[in-house]
Amino acid sequence: MNLLNLAPDIQEALLFLPPMEQGKDTLTERDLRVIVAVTDWRKQRRLWKDFAANAGVPSPSY
């Protein structure tokens, strides 16, 4: 998986996710594969926004 293909704002959101202190991570590498596979940043942002809303992950506002 090449995270460099992610839109810069999604990369930033990943970098600044709060640490998990207990329980399971809400975001996995498998979840990101679907988004990274898309080359269009607009589509990535839509996928990320949908994922973040469903998983309770903080998402930047575009």
Q: What global pTM score does this model have?
A: 0.79
Joined together, the tokens standing for residue 8 give 């810069």
Task: Output 59 or 49, whichever has higher pLDDT.
Answer: 49
Element (H, E) at 27: none
Determine, yes or no, domain membership for 51.
yes
Determine, yes or no, domain membership for 18.
no
Determine, yes or no, domain membership for 40.
yes
Q: In terms of residue numbers, what domain contains 47?
A: 1-11+31-55
Distance from C-alpha of 46 to C-alpha of 54, rounded to nearest angstrom:
12
Determine, yes or no, domain membership for 43.
yes
Determine, yes or no, domain membership for 22.
no
Q: Say what the pLDDT of residue 1 is.
A: 66
Domain count, the chain: 1
For residue range 3-58, what is the model confidence (pLDDT) as tens digits?
Answer: 889 999 999 988 888 887 777 777 888 889 999 999 999 999 999 999 988 887 76
Q: Say what the pLDDT of residue 58 is.
A: 67
CA 60 to chain centre: 10
